[in-house]
Amino acid sequence: MASSDWGTFFTPTPPAARLVRTDAQTMYRFHLAALNHGLFLAPRGMIALSTVISDALVDEIIERAIAAFADVAADAQ
Q: What is the C-alpha separation between 57 and 44, in angstroms, rounded? A: 23
Residue 1 is predicted with a pLDDT of 42
| 75 inside domain | yes
Total structural domains within the chain: 1
| 59 inside domain | yes
Instruction: Tell me what percent of the residues of the chain surpass a pLDDT of 70.
Output: 91
Residue predicted with more confidence, 72 or 18: 72
| 23 inside domain | no
Q: What is the C-alpha separation between 70 and 4, in angstroms, rounded? A: 24
| 70 inside domain | yes
Residue predicted with more confidence, 56 or 12: 56
| 53 inside domain | yes
| 68 inside domain | yes
| 7 inside domain | no
Domain containing 71 equals 44-77
| 57 inside domain | yes
Residue 59 is predicted with a pLDDT of 92
Residue 76 is predicted with a pLDDT of 79
Q: What integer best gives the mean pLDDT of the chain?
A: 83
